[in-house]
Amino acid sequence: MDLATVIGLIVGFTNIIMGIIFAKGNPLLFFDIPSVFITVGGSFCALLISNPLPKVLGIWKVAKHAFFPPKYNPNELIITLVSFSEKARREGLLALEDDLDELDDQFLRKGIQLVVDGTDPELVRRIMETELENIMARHDEGKKLFDDWATYAPAFGMIGTLLGLVLMLVNIEDKSAIGPGMSAALITTFYGAIMAYLVLYPISSKLGYLNNQEVLMKLIMIEGTLSIQSGDNPRIVKDKLVSFLDPRLREAITSEVGD
């Protein structure tokens, strides 16, 4: 579980509730069923209109990645690729076929299999880069769902406010109803802002970060696979691959595989 996402949401909502309490307000005054229907329900319906139904129904599966992200370990990946290059230079590319079953990542397994099969290097690169582009496109579609919803939520919050103002003006002769009516009208705007800026946009940003992490892993796999196929010296393979990483992360690899 990603603690940053969970802690951020819990502490974020807690801060809002505590702010209301310290302002001598009652948090229950901010719970309004009609506002939930207008803001949450209305914005979700707009999301349904603007996106295909299967994509929208899969939004919860996409959101799960923000709470339970895959584990990315570029150091371990580079060490594995360097060991493959050593084995390939020592025993030949065909010897790598014995290690295919040990690879959990389907993308890397496919790349190594292409190399073992003697596929032309340019074709290997093209196949792997095409698959990476498709992965990025799928990630962008999932991220777009949250960006769209975050765009619609404040708009429907404003729609709810306008509806509340109209209903308040209908009863404008009753001065005692103006204050509560105005308060209820503004709650929908409050809901829309909370949805967009505490939940939806942050989740979208987290998905973007995870996408960048996975793309980095895949780029390392592509470069490593092609380096193995070309018979590069393991030291050269390591130097190529660590160039993808932050300098602070390179020391662990150097200590593991040497200079």
Instruction: Give me the residue spans of the domains in the chain.
Output: 1-31
Average pLDDT, integer, range 86-111: 86
Alpha-helical regions (H) of the chain: 3-22, 33-36, 42-50, 53-57, 59-67, 74-91, 106-116, 121-170, 178-194, 201-229, 234-242, 250-257
* Residue at token pair 């001598």: 24
Euclidean distance between CA atoms 10 and 246, whole angstroms = 31
- Angle of helix 74-91 relative to helix 201-229, nearest 10 degrees? 10
pLDDT at 70: 86
pTM of the model: 0.84
Q: What is the pLDDT of residues 65-95, one digit of tens each?
A: 889 988 888 888 888 899 889 988 888 888 8
- Name the amino acid, one letter, at 110: K
Residue 120 has a CB neighbour count (10 Å cut-off) of: 10
Per residue in 171-218, pLDDT tens?
A: 777 666 566 666 667 888 999 999 999 999 999 999 999 999 999 999
Q: How far apart are CA 182 and CA 247, in angstroms?
A: 56
Handedness of CA 147, 148, 149, 151 (dihedral sign): positive
Residue 13: pLDDT over 90: yes
What pLDDT score does 177 carry? Answer: 59
Residues 84 and 99 sit within 8 Å (Cβ to Cβ): yes
